Amino acid sequence: MLPQKYRLTQDKDFKRIFKKGKFFIVKFINIRIVENNLDVSRFGFIVSKKNFKKAVDRNKIKRRLRDTIHSRLEKIKPGFDVVVMIRKEIGNKSFKEIDGTMKEVLDKAKILI
């Protein structure tokens, strides 16, 4: 589980990222990233109700995404706010495929050490 200090929770933070953030896409994962001037990087996850009607499915995807970030926390540069958004294709992907794609998109954004 991703510790609370690494999570984005406030609406104002999400709005700031969508307004000023840089956008990166790899396969079925999109991220927006902006610097936050803190000593940790924080992450928020968006899974659309339009793509996944059941809350069970949305929460399962968010748990998988949080776990991929949690396993890489020591390799992620501090000082960024990141919003992770997904496409519908993630629904039939294995955890290994999700983990690999998350690594690719973080590499593309240049926030991995």
Sign of CA dihedral 14, 15, 20, 22: positive
The tens place of each residue's pLDDT in the chain, 113 residues long, gives 889 999 999 999 999 999 999 999 999 999 999 999 999 999 999 999 999 999 999 999 999 999 999 999 999 999 999 999 999 999 889 999 999 999 999 999 999 98
pTM: 0.90
Q: Which domains does the chain have, with CATH numbers?
A: 4-108 (3.30.230.10)
